[in-house]
Amino acid sequence: MQTVDDSQETAPVDRKERQRQTMQAEIRATARGLLVDEGGAAVTINAIARRMGLSGPALYRYYPSQAALIDALRADFYGELIAAMRQASSHGAGDAPGSGLLAMSRSLRGWALAHPAEFGWLFASPTANREPGACDPIKSEMGHAFGQVFLEQVLAIWEAKRFPVPSIEDMPAIQAEQLRAFSERLGGRLPAEAASVYLACWMRLYGLLCMEIFRQIDFAYADMTPIYEECLQELCRLLDIAYAPPDG
C-alpha cells in the first residue's frame, strides 16, 4: 500500500519537500525584511517576489494567498518571541522562586523593543482588519501559547509557595463564573482564585508593554524602563516573591 518500500523512492521526495520548506522560509524572511525596512504596507506578494528575483504568481506555489503568508509570518513571530521568553525563564531558573518570571518578563519587553514592527503584527494583524466579525485565528492559537509562558511561571510559583489570593466569594458572580471556567480549562492546576491573580498580573504587564510599544505614553515618557521595572516590583508583591533588579 505505502510507497515507502525503500530509500531510493523516499529520498528524492524528502529532498523536494525540504527544498519546498526552505523556499517557504526564504519567502517569509524576505517578507519580514520588507516589513522591517519599509513598513507593513510594503509586504505585498509582488514586492516579495521582486526582492527574490521571481515573478509574482510564483509565490502562489508556496502560499495560497497573501493572508496565508502573513499568518505564517505572524506564527513565526509568536514562535520567536515565545522561544526567547522560554529561554530567558529557563536561564533564570534554579535561583529564587520567581527569578524565571522576572527574566521572562524582561526578555518579553526586550524582544518587543527590538522588533516593534513584528510585535505590532502580533497585537493586531493587518489581515484581521478585513472583516469586522472575523476573529484572528493566529492570535487565538498562538496568543494562548503566549500567555501560557507567563502562566507556567506563575504556576511554578504557586506550586512552590502559594501566594495570597482574593476570596472568590467577594467577586461579582460573572467574574467568579468566568474564573472557575478558566481554571477548569487549565485542568485545575491553578484554582480560580489564583487564576485571577495570574490574569491580573498578565494584564498589567502586557497592557503596560503595549502602551510603551505603541507609544501611547510618549507625550510624557520617552524611556519607560523604570516604569516597567516598577510594574515588575508590583507583580512580585502580588505573587509574594522577591524582586531582583536587572543585572548589567
Can you give the binding site for a second copy, defined by CB under 8 A? 36-41, 117, 120, 123-124, 126, 129-132, 134-135, 139-140, 143-144, 147, 171-172, 174-175, 178-179, 182, 195, 199-200, 202-204, 206-208, 210-211, 214-217, 219-223, 225-227
Q: Which of DNA, a second copy, none binds 56 (CB below 5-8 Å, type-dependent)? A: DNA
Q: What nine digits make up the cell of 140?
A: 487565538
Please say whether the beta carbons of 166 and 196 come within 8 A.
yes
- Smallest distance, Å, CB 40 to DNA? 11
Q: Is 198 exposed, middle or buried (0-12, 13-18, 19+ CB in 10 A)?
A: buried
**Identity at 158, one-letter amino acid code:** W
Q: Which does 187 bind (CB under 5 to 8 A by kind): a second copy, DNA, none?
A: none
What single string gives the DSSP state of each residue in 83-100?
HHHHHHHHHTTTSSTTHH
CB of 87 to a second copy, least distance (A): 23
Instruction: Give the cell for residue 203.
Output: 494584564
Q: Which does 213 bind (CB under 5 to 8 A by kind): a second copy, DNA, none?
A: none
**DSSP alpha helices (H): ranges in the chain?**
7-38, 45-52, 66-91, 99-114, 116-123, 137-160, 173-185, 192-213, 225-239
* Residue numbers at the binding site for DNA (CB under 7 A): 8-9, 12-13, 15-16, 19-20, 23, 44-47, 49, 53-58, 60-62, 64-67
Q: How far is the CB of 12 from a second copy (least distance, A)?
A: 42
Q: Which of 19, 21, 41, 20 is nearest to 31 (CA)?
A: 41
93 binds, among DNA, a second copy, none (CB under 5 to 8 A by kind): none
Task: For DNA, give the closer residue by CB, 68 or 93.
Answer: 68
Q: How far is the CB of 45 from a second copy (least distance, A)?
A: 16
Of 84, 80, 74, 83, which is closest to residue 106 (Cα–Cα)?
Answer: 84
For residues 139-153, one letter each, b for 16 or more C-beta atoms within 10 angstroms of the residue's C-beta and e for the rest, the string is beebeeebeebbbbb
Q: Output the smallest distance, CB 65 to DNA, in A.
A: 4
Q: CB 174 → a second copy: shortest distance, Å?
A: 5
Of DNA, a second copy, none, which one does residue 120 interact with (CB within 5 to 8 Å by kind)?
a second copy
